[in-house]
Amino acid sequence: MMNSKKPILLVEDDKVDAMTVKRSLREIHVTNDVFVAGNGEEALQFLHQPNTERPCIILLDLNMPKMNGLELLQIIKKDPSLKKVPVVVLTASKNDQDKFESFDLGVAGYMIKPVDYQQFVEVVRTINLYWTLSEMPDEE
């Protein structure tokens, strides 16, 4: 994803959805390592490991146990070392309030998870294409 070999962080508690995202990435020939965190707490543990490369993108579900996606997003966007990592919400939530809060917190995109697998692949392809073409600031 993107012109980068940095890892992708997928924050998703549903194992089937996590497998679908990983399978979709493979199908469109994205070769970045994908790390899956089952909730916001696990994602923060991954992001705060010493000597761990920052992900090139975070794909974030909103509805999760322990720490949900919006709570994680608030923490990420306040952290100077994490706030520039693009976050794309990939969720089943069509709730307008979730969309408003996500964009208020600085998400790069908000995608609804399709039920159909081929449509899911197209959503992942769209995310990949955008981040492949998008110019990102260099790391400080």
Over residues 74-133, the pLDDT tens digits come to 999 999 989 989 999 998 888 899 999 999 999 988 988 888 888 888 888 888 887 776
Q: Does position 37 have pLDDT exceeding 70, yes or no?
A: yes
pLDDT in tens, 45-83: 999 998 888 898 999 999 988 989 999 999 999 999 899
**Gap between the Cα atoms of 98 and 93, Å rounded:** 7
Confidence of residue 137 (pLDDT cuts 50, 70, 90): low
The 8-class DSSP code of residue 106 comes to T
Q: Does position 140 have pLDDT exceeding 60, yes or no?
A: no
- Those residues whose C-beta lies under 8 Å from the C-beta of residue 128, and which sit 6 or more positions away, are 1, 2, 25, 28, 30
Q: Does position 43 have pLDDT exceeding 70, yes or no?
A: yes
Confidence of residue 1 (pLDDT cuts 50, 70, 90): low
Instruction: Output the CATH code of domain 8-133.
Output: 3.40.50.2300
Return the half-sphere exposure (C-beta side, CA atoms, 13 A cut-off) of residue 120: 20
Q: What is the mean pLDDT of residues 27-41?
A: 92
